[in-house]
Amino acid sequence: MALVLGVDSSTQSTKVEMRDADSGELIGSGRAPHPSTSPPRSEQNPEAWREALVEARQQAGSIAVVAMAIAAQQHGLVALDRDGQVIRPAKLWNDTESAPDAQWLVEQLGGPEAWTEACGSMPVSSLTISKLSWLHRCEPEHFDRIAQVLLPHDWLTYRMSGRFTTDRGDASGTGYWSPAEGRWRPDLLDVVDDTKDWASCLPEVLGPTDTVREREGAVIAPGTGDNMAAALGVALEPGQVAMSIGTSGTVSTVSEQPVADPKGYVAGFADASGRFLPLVCTLNATKVVQAFARVLGADLNEFDRLALAAPPGAGGLVLVPYLDGERTPNLPGATGTLGGLRGDVTAEQVARAAVEGVVCGLLDALDALRVSGVRVRAGDGIVLLGGGARSHAFQRVLADLSRAPVTVPRGEPVATGACVQAASVLHQTPPQEVASAWEVGAGHAVEPSEDVDARAVRAAYAEVRHRDYIAPRRSNPPETPDEEDAGE
């Protein structure tokens, strides 16, 4: 039996799967934690990712594999010197210290529309280009040493192969690669510093079935970003909606054409199959549940039970969960709001409000995707991914408030998607064909309840959100277009 290895190096942990290269049958798996982080400064030593990969691989079993692919958290900045050594800890996607740099970058090109036309996405603190600008501004001695700029999956692949490579999916989340043109845009990096030879700092962008290198009898695939791998891991089809509830929340679909949202709310990513992956990201997801579970003194299973015990609408309690700032809408300095508190508040209501707040934020993100003109078929059902997908409360609330069936696939979709890519490169077959043949999107479905007033729950959330976040900014005219509200 020939086996492939898929790696998911996320913010919180590394997860691996070993699967049969022909059938996709799961043979082994493993998981190892990463050091915890907390915005606004969210950094990790890349070596911790490699150590976690080794540990997770050992848990999966010692059987040799014939191909492997690494997927990892998008956007993070790994800066190397001329000797290939890491200059400083990697800034992660959810590090918000570069928010002023993102705003400054937007202004340099005259607004969001110019950026989305150039590279599909508007700079926010998450994007790599914003973090490079931060490094240039705050740590010039480190910036001057940069010889290679890599993303987390690029660095892990480099450690496995010795080559500086990436793929179109992960490259599209940097803020300096154009999905529409299929090329790096060093002229955008010149906005940060026009004296550096950026072309020499950037990895080679490989195609979906290209080989990085063969090592010890195993083919190394290009790898990709976690959202792109997840799309492969559930065989996401054009127009089909995927929502991920992990450290961040995301809403995405596959598109046959590149997407450039002039308002900048939708990130016009490429995917790992040769198509495109328009995506809207929220900054606060499972950490919201973890925070309120800690406050209530409950473990996650008990928190799930509490949330399901409260009625829809949480008895009038509303949480706008911008605990660590927010990306959509772009409010990097925001904090959360808990509205509707009364003297008879219960633990069940608090838990329910936390879950509903995260879900309402994701549904707002879905609305932003629709408003931008992206074709979505949410009524046909939503594929629920990420660690939060295991929560029965998230499954139930999402189905009820979206009024659509929710499917929870088996396994770890990002690691599964990496396995799909590895088999695709091994067999030289388009990855979407491998994903379809493996039937990776199968899972259990949760149907919406007909007696839940979804409109009332979302309206209550929108009222608090508008009162505390939108109206105050409108009373003081925004200085930059990116301060406007998504979907308003």
Catalytic residues: 226
Residue in the structure block whose two tokens are 């406007």: 484
Q: How far apart are CA 362 and CA 383, in angstroms?
A: 13
CB 310 within 8 A of CB 349: yes
Considering only CA atoms, which of 280, 248, 249 is closest in space to residue 11?
Answer: 248
Q: Distance between CA atoms of 192 and 130, rounded to whole angstroms?
A: 9
- CA torsion through residues 174, 179, 180, 183, sign: positive
CB atoms under 10 Å from CB of 192, counted, come to 23
Distance CA 473, CA 484 (A): 8
Cβ-Cβ contacts under 8 Å for 111 (sequence gap 6 or more): 480, 481
Asked if 124 and 97 touch (Cβ cutoff 8 Å), the reply is no
